[in-house]
Chain A
């Protein structure tokens, strides 16, 4: 052994340490991957050595590699080994590696529970610290459940260093194991008064984080925090407290008022920007609340001033945050922000794009009828000078957002808006053609008064098709033509010169547009044509009509050949129609009306949510099957046959033959052949033009225009701005005159008329330029008005939404493990069982609401508990300890019920039932047995009184079996009960231990027992009894004992062991879970694991060796087992089998 150690340390000299590795990686820039893979090979060798120093060094290097992006999950087990080192140096490295690479899915985490528990209770505060730090990164729900109690204990540690960490990590524990919140909260609250400022601040941190998610439960802490806020000088703490209040005030508006003063003081006094910012934010949030309840003391003028200072600051960060906060004020106090428009517009020029975008957001809320045009004008200037298309596109969308918000509320002049949209189409390379198009359509459809103007503008756009389609690589802008064509077609009655527009829509260049736009062109050309016919109706001169028919007949064939199906179809359809019309025209038949009838009727806008809002008619159940679903039993082969046969009979449908793949292929081939031989068949080719050279082969010169072209004849929006101003002025004057007149009149009449304040023009005074009728979108009749937004059921914080003021129920106790031996391999899944026991009966008993017999409920609880199992384990001193899980205690009382239930009606009854259920004593199941020697079991039971009455004279008795006997004091008879050495006031718990002697451990044992006690109420006492069962399984006689593989091999070779095997089928667990389960439930330790095969070892309290070989393949687990006691082995295997059949 010594030689090995020496050898190990000599090897070490040649090992690379971390620095060497880093250096190596840096000097192998070219072939980094290769170098690292050789390093990983070395590390793998190092990890195989027994020397922990070598291993730790290897793990440290792996942590570095992990940061470089290499997978080190394969070394997870080695990391655990290093974590378990007794030396802080290595432990620290192990925990670091674990915190960097463990996550919820890491299997080996479940092996760490006991190691972590040991470290948590280490006398060295740095061991504890390092474990807490690590845990904060990789805590899983299982770890959280198993360690919650240990961590909670650490919250009261003597060293503030540990307390602080323990408090902080509790937050992570709550998130992973929400049940721990209620039991741990009182202690957490105590920590708010901790003498150490660090601990106090940690507690504030945690409670603040909790309260932000579920503020309602923390309202009762408001006074406490208020006191803290006024006394604390630590900015970090203050920020957290203020944040907490920010979360509370929406629930308690009075709190907001109370806060204003201290917050204002802070805003005035603090020099820390972070604190100032937090205060301002919270005041803003408070004011939002106040506005809702109509009690706002005053607009946050102070905040706005402070924010202005931030925005004016040269520090980009403050500027950004100032704008951000400003936008929050905007929502509730738009007026107080609007006066800072100048500042915001200034920010649009900032060199930092993120600041410009923030400013844009603000503008969105700042517009009013009065300033919309002016603001948009400024934005248009920015659009022109913006460098970079992203920002320009952002501006474009913002302009449209600003104008279209709340149903075009702020637009007084739609002619202006249309011209803005038209101007925007000149932007090169924008991605938002579609957005502009949909705005054009929306406005034209919904604002009837603007159609005439819009149509004229659109006609101009169409006339300039070449411009739009020719410039730039980004085709998105041509979407605008889609809208233009549709608007011209649909509202063709407003066109000045329909024939000209018709001509424009049928130019050959149109064929280069995307298919869906061409299709719209064709369709609307037809509409235009109808309009032309209709317009010329009755005039003697029919030349125009004939000309336009001829135009269509000449131009449409180009589109009939289009590759786009939609275009082709529409074109050929309309071509035929026009040809027919032409014939009729030659016969001088009036067709105008008939053709117009094709496109008669108005299209109304439909609200996007209309479909969703159609109410479900009475009696229609959408979830019900209309026809019964086909039954599962039908075999798949017969199904199709049967269905077809039936249908054919019933509907006499044309015969459908089922065609198989081969047949299809053959037909395809035949068709191809036929096509090839058919001279009239035009094969699919990139261009389906008849002319094989095709339009695409004609070189098209891309004109790149860097200067936005002024489209001739197009009005500019600026013009409207001026006009609008003039108009407003005029109106104002007129109104002023009228008002004066009115005033005079009124004064004459009564002399007491209410005076109109003719101050600055208010919003409402601005009349729209022309009567604007914004058609609202259509909704179905009886539309449902609810817009329910459901809460996200996956919100991880929802589970933490619990009432913290309610007294703790027994069922909520954290699993107590402090007195347990430390090296039990524990699978989390199991503790759950223990935990859940108290809860399940609750549910069950709720179901039995009618059951008035309290006693019966008590029994129910007990029926669930008896599966108490016994675990054995071995402490380092190799003393045997025995452990029992499960069981006990409860109590009840009919009297309570009588007191509350007197009303007798059902409702009353029910609430009482629920009430009693809550308080009903539930078994607390932390029972622990200690096996001091090979034939003794110590069972410790926690008794907890959940009732409101005093319990006394408790007697614990078990019916002895031949094999297992309760050890009673000398002199007492074999059936005497043991007095529990304490009494239980309401809500109190205590633990008692009982020793059992066991002779043979080869068979499981079930012991029946009773607990008797006296319930003492105010005026009477009743005697009560509880039955229970203790179950000592064979597995519980086993002790988790580590074993080296060589020892294990020797054991197997020896002839004293008898073998047997079992097979478990349909086990869907992953193999590592399976192993963990066996290890945990049955106290085995893994000796070796190779792929899906592992050897396990355990020892009984009487020294029997148990060896398992577990193989896993195709959901089947084979366990070959050897033991020197075959019936023990048989029972253990039986129990293993049971474990898996349950899961």
Chain B
């Protein structure tokens, strides 16, 4: 997978993950172009389109579009599966996820994605394992925050 974009029906980018190194300018250009193309498609149309030399797989969940770019030989259906699984993960983590969850906790959305995909490949196909990893990392984070609550004792020392 080359990249994944999440954007709203209004065309606002909600999340972007690039697995190929591109300059900001290129990223913006691609995003703009793709958001336009995908939003212009009618609801009954299939989820795939050919774009430049890539294949775009997208799916709409409520007001959010999930859009992935894959290479020519990649499997479109498994990419749809990946999108779906990510949505399920978000749903489990946030408890029936909505767009606002992703807007306000966008870093969490990234963390979940990073546990699920690495370098554009699915790294963990078990939903349970992904959520476990995220929860434990969150736990670690909270413990540390509590430490900090003690007026950063460590740092004063």
**B106-155 interface (Cβ within 8 A of A):** 106-107, 110-111, 114-115, 118-119, 121-126, 129, 133, 136-137, 140-141, 144-145, 148, 151-152, 155
Do A352 and B125 have beta carbons less than 8 Å apart? no
Is B2 an interface residue when CB atoms closer than 8 A count as contact? no
- Residues 64-105 of chain A, each 1 if its beta carbon lies under 8 Å from chain B, else 0: 100111010100000000000001110011001001110111
Bound: A124/B136 CA distance, A: 12
List the A side residues contacting B44 at CB < 8 Å.
316, 351-352
Do B107 and A274 have beta carbons less than 8 Å apart? no
Task: Across the interface, name the chain B residue whose C-beta is closest to A204.
Answer: B121
Is A161 an interface residue when CB atoms closer than 8 A count as contact? yes
**A135-160 interface (Cβ within 8 A of B):** 136-138, 140
List the B side residues contacting A138 at CB < 8 Å.
21
Q: Report which of B22, B45, B115, B123 forms a contact with A353, defined as CB distance below 8 A.
A: B45
Do A161 and B23 have beta carbons less than 8 Å apart? no
List the A side residues contacting B110 at CB < 8 Å.
96, 100
Is A277 an interface residue when CB atoms closer than 8 A count as contact? yes
Bound: A172/B78 CA distance, A: 21
Q: Which stretch from B12-20, B60-68, B89-97 is at the chain A interface?
A: B12-20
Q: Once A and B bind, how many residue pairs between them come within 8 Å at the CB atom?
A: 158
The verdict on A243 contacting B119 (CB below 8 Å), with A5-B156, A93-B107, A137-B19 known, is: no
Do B123 and A165 have beta carbons less than 8 Å apart? yes
Do A68 and B13 have beta carbons less than 8 Å apart? yes
Q: Which stretch from A36-44, A126-134, A900-908, A930-938 is at the chain B interface?
A: A126-134
Rounded to whole Å, the gap between the CB of B137 and the closest CB of chain A is 5
The verdict on A317 contacting B76 (CB below 8 Å), with A87-B144, A126-B137, A137-B19 known, is: yes
Do B118 and A165 have beta carbons less than 8 Å apart? yes
Rounded to whole Å, the gap between the CB of B91 and the closest CB of chain A is 20
Bound: A321/B73 CA distance, A: 13
Do B107 and A317 have beta carbons less than 8 Å apart? no
List the A side residues contacting B104 at CB < 8 Å.
18-19, 22
Do A1 and B156 have beta carbons less than 8 Å apart? yes
Do A103 and B23 have beta carbons less than 8 Å apart? yes
Is B24 an interface residue when CB atoms closer than 8 A count as contact? yes
Bound: A26/B124 CA distance, A: 35
Is B36 an interface residue when CB atoms closer than 8 A count as contact? no
Is A416 an interface residue when CB atoms closer than 8 A count as contact? no
Q: Report which of A2, A22, A124, A212 forms a contact with B140, defined as CB distance below 8 A.
A: A124
Q: Report which of B76, B81, B107 forms a contact with A60, defined as CB distance below 8 A.
A: B107
Task: Across the interface, name the chain A residue whose C-beta is closest to B118.
Answer: A168
Q: Report which of B23, B80, B152, B156 forms a contact with A317, defined as CB distance below 8 A.
A: B80
Do A317 and B123 have beta carbons less than 8 Å apart? no
- 28 A–B contacts, CB within 8 A, in A order: A5-B152, A5-B156, A51-B152, A64-B106, A73-B24, A88-B140, A89-B145, A103-B22, A103-B23, A103-B24, A104-B21, A133-B115, A140-B21, A164-B123, A165-B118, A165-B123, A168-B119, A168-B121, A168-B123, A169-B118, A205-B121, A206-B121, A246-B73, A277-B75, A277-B77, A317-B77, A352-B46, A354-B46
List the A side residues contacting B80 at CB < 8 Å.
274, 317
Bound: A76/B38 CA distance, A: 32
Bound: A273/B78 CA distance, A: 9
Rounded to whole Å, the gap between the CB of B17 and the closest CB of chain A is 8
Do B107 and A96 have beta carbons less than 8 Å apart? yes
List the A side residues contacting B114 at CB < 8 Å.
96, 99, 133
List the A side residues contacting B39 at CB < 8 Å.
none
Do B73 and A164 have beta carbons less than 8 Å apart? no
Do B118 and A132 have beta carbons less than 8 Å apart? yes
Is A198 an interface residue when CB atoms closer than 8 A count as contact? yes
Bound: A133/B123 CA distance, A: 11
List the B side residues contacting A89 at CB < 8 Å.
140-141, 144-145
Bound: A89/B18 CA distance, A: 23
Rounded to whole Å, the gap between the CB of B129 and the closest CB of chain A is 7
Task: Across the interface, name the chain A residue whose C-beta is closest to B106.
Answer: A64
Do A92 and B141 have beta carbons less than 8 Å apart? yes
The verdict on A103 contacting B21 (CB below 8 Å), with A67-B15, A274-B78, A355-B46 known, is: yes
List the B side residues contacting A71 at CB < 8 Å.
24
Rounded to whole Å, the gap between the CB of B155 and the closest CB of chain A is 6
Is B47 an interface residue when CB atoms closer than 8 A count as contact? yes
Bound: A9/B150 CA distance, A: 11
Is A842 an interface residue when CB atoms closer than 8 A count as contact? no
Is A562 an interface residue when CB atoms closer than 8 A count as contact? no
- Residues 996-1014 of chain A, each 1 if its beta carbon lies under 8 Å from chain B, else 0: 0000000000000000000
List the A side residues contacting B45 at CB < 8 Å.
316, 352-354
Do A67 and B106 have beta carbons less than 8 Å apart? yes
The verdict on A69 contacting B28 (CB below 8 Å), with A92-B111, A316-B45 known, is: yes
The 7 closest A-B pairs by CB, nearest first: A274-B77, A316-B46, A136-B119, A320-B46, A274-B78, A89-B141, A133-B114
Task: Across the interface, name the chain B residue whose C-beta is closest to A23.
Answer: B104
List the B side residues contacting A351 at CB < 8 Å.
42, 44
Is A234 an interface residue when CB atoms closer than 8 A count as contact? yes
List the B side residues contacting A100 at CB < 8 Å.
16, 110
List the A side residues contacting B145 at CB < 8 Å.
89
**A257-281 interface (Cβ within 8 A of B):** 273-274, 277-278
Is B48 an interface residue when CB atoms closer than 8 A count as contact? yes
Bound: A130/B49 CA distance, A: 33
Do A239 and B19 have beta carbons less than 8 Å apart? no
Rounded to whole Å, the gap between the CB of B38 and the closest CB of chain A is 12
Do A317 and B75 have beta carbons less than 8 Å apart? no
The verdict on A243 contacting B75 (CB below 8 Å), with A5-B151, A69-B13, A92-B141 known, is: yes
Is B30 an interface residue when CB atoms closer than 8 A count as contact? no
Task: Across the interface, name the chain A residue whose C-beta is closest to B145.
Answer: A89
Task: Across the interface, name the chain A residue whose C-beta is closest to B6.
Answer: A67
Is B98 an interface residue when CB atoms closer than 8 A count as contact? no
Of the listed residues B15, B78, B125, the one surrounded by the most CB atoms of chain A closer than 10 A to its CB is B78
Bound: A472/B50 CA distance, A: 31
Rounded to whole Å, the gap between the CB of B86 and the closest CB of chain A is 14
Do B118 and A136 have beta carbons less than 8 Å apart? yes
List the B side residues contacting A243 at CB < 8 Å.
73, 75
